[in-house]
Amino acid sequence: MRSVPLTWLYAPGDRPDVVAKALTAGADVVVVDLEDAVAPDRKAYARAATAELLRDPQPVPVHVRVNAFTGPWGPADV
């Protein structure tokens, strides 16, 4: 990885298949999105899938975009 990441690839947290592809796509960082990319009825699944992903080392750094803490889903995201 570069000292300053140039490419940040976002993937929806409720799509583990897309996240897996993103991890090998050549981006410097993968951002798993729990916010706008995930429908309200899929938020819990996205959280669980993301937690599972973060249990193991990944080939590139992984960041997680969470919902606003003041909203209905933010506290559960963190």
What does the pLDDT look like over 2-37, one tens digit per residue? 688 899 999 999 999 999 999 999 999 999 999 999
**DSSP string computed for 5-46:** ---EEEEETT-HHHHHHHHTTT-SEEEEE-STTS-GGGHHHH
Record the pTM: 0.92
What are the strands of the beta sheet with 62-65, ordered from one edge?
8-12, 29-33, 62-65
CA distance 26 to 29: 9
